[in-house]
Chain A
Amino acid sequence: MSTSSAGWRLERRLDVSAARSVGTRTAGVVVAVLGALAVFQLTGRSAPDIAGESIKGTFGNWSNFQETLIILTPILICAVAVALGFRIRVWNIGVEGQFLMGGWAATGVGLKVGGPQWLQLLLMALAGMAAGALWVLVPALLKAYFDVNEVITTLLLTFVAQQMLVWFSTDIWKDRVAAVTNASERVNAKLPGFFGSTTLNWGFLVPVVLVIVMFVVFRSSRWGYEVEMTGGNPRAAEFAGIPVKRRIVGVMMLSGAVAGLGGMIQLTGAVHRLSVSFSNQYGFFGFIVAALAGASALALLLVGLFIAFLLRSGIAAQTRGLSVALMFAVCGMILLIVGVAEIATRYRLSRAAPEPMAPVPQEAKMSNTHFASAQEPA
Chain B
Amino acid sequence: MSGVTGTACAVRLRGITKRFDRLLALDAVDLDLRRGEVHALLGENGAGKTTLMNILAGLYRADSGSIELGGEQVSLRGPGEAIAHGVGMVHQHFKLVETMTVAENLHFGWDDTPVLTSRRQLADRADELSRQFGITVDPRARIWQLSVGEQQRVEILRTLARGAQVLILDEPTAVLTDAEADELFAILRNLVSEGRTVVFISHKLREVKAVSDRVTVLRGGRVVGSCDTADVSVRELGTMMTGAESVVVARSASSACGEVVAELVGVSATSNRGLPALRAIDVSVRGGEIVGVAGVSGNGQSELAEVITGLRRVEAGKVLIAGKDVTGRPPAQFSGAGVGHMPEDRIGMALVASASVRRNAVLRHYRGNALSSRLSLRRGAVRGFADDLVRQARVQVRNAAAPIAQLSGGNQQRLVAHREALVAEKLLVAVHPTRGLDVHAAAEVDQALLDRRNAGCGVLLISDDLEEILRLADRVVVMYDGQIRGEFAADAADRQRIGMLMGGQDEESA
- State yes or no: do A and B come from one complex: yes
Report which A residues bind B (CB closer than 8 A).
14-15, 219-223, 225, 228-229, 232-233, 235-241, 354-357, 359, 361-363, 366-367, 375, 377-378
Judge whether B352 and A15 touch: CB under 8 Å.
no
Q: Which of B343, B347, B409 contacts A239 (CB 8 A)?
A: B343
**Residues in A neighbouring B311, C-beta threshold 8 A:** 238-239
Partner of A236, one of B78, B351, B405: B351
> Inside 8 A of B58's CB, which chain A residues have their CB?
356
Question: B348 to A366, Cβ gap below 8 A?
Answer: yes
Contact of A366 among B54, B61, B353, B372 (CB under 8 A): B353
Contact of B359 among A229, A238, A363 (CB under 8 A): A229
Contact flags B39-74 to A (C-beta < 8 A → 1, else 0): 000000111111100100011110000000000000
Enumerate chain B interface residues (CB-CB to A < 8 A): 20-21, 23, 25, 45-51, 54, 58-61, 77-78, 311, 330-332, 335, 341, 343, 347-355, 359, 363-364, 366-367, 372-377, 379, 403, 405-406, 409, 436
Task: Tell me, in angstroms, the Cα distance from A202 to B497 when the chains sit together.
Answer: 80
Please name 25 pairs of A and B residues whose Cβ atoms are closer than 8 Å in the assembled complex, sorted by A: A15-B405, A15-B406, A219-B379, A220-B376, A221-B375, A221-B377, A222-B372, A222-B376, A223-B375, A232-B355, A233-B348, A233-B354, A236-B352, A236-B363, A238-B331, A357-B60, A357-B78, A361-B21, A363-B347, A363-B353, A366-B405, A377-B23, A377-B50, A378-B25, A378-B46
**Inter-chain contact total with CB atoms closer than 8 Å:** 111
- Could you say which of B51, B349, B350, B406 contacts A14, with CB atoms under 8 Å apart? B406
Q: Are B349 and A235 in contact (CB under 8 A)?
A: yes
- CA of A285 to CA of B350 in the docked complex: distance in angstroms? 37
Given contacts A235-B348, A239-B341, A367-B353, 19 further A-B contacts (CB under 8 A): A221-B377, A222-B367, A222-B372, A222-B377, A228-B355, A232-B352, A232-B354, A233-B352, A233-B354, A236-B349, A236-B351, A236-B363, A240-B364, A354-B61, A355-B61, A375-B60, A377-B25, A377-B51, A378-B54
B352 touches A14 (CB 8 A): no
Give every chain A residue within 8 A of B21 (Cβ-Cβ).
Answer: 361
Closest CB in chain A relative to B62 CB, distance in Å: 10
Q: Which residues of A contact B54 (CB under 8 A)?
A: 375, 378
Pair B405/A14 contact, Cβ less than 8 Å: yes
A362 touches B377 (CB 8 A): no
A359, chain B: closest CB distance, angstroms: 6
Of B77, B341, B353, B367, the contact of A233 (CB 8 Å cutoff): B353
Give the distance in Å from the alpha carbon of A378 to the alpha carbon of B51 in the complex.
5
A374 nearest CB neighbor, chain B only: B93
Is A362 touching B409 in the complex (CB atoms < 8 A)? yes
Task: Note all chain B residues with C-beta closer than 8 A to A220.
Answer: 376-377, 379
CB of B352 within 8 A of CB of A229, answer yes
Complexed CA–CA distance, A171 and B492 (Å): 88
User: B303 CB to closest chain A CB, in angstroms?
Assistant: 16
Q: Which of A232, A235, A361 has the most CB of B within 10 A?
A: A232
Q: Which B residue sits closest to A375, measured CB to CB?
A: B59
Q: Is the CB of A378 within 8 A of B50?
A: yes
Please indicate the chain A residues that have their CB under 8 angstroms from the CB of B47 in the complex.
378
* Cα A356 to Cα B366 with chains together (Å): 46
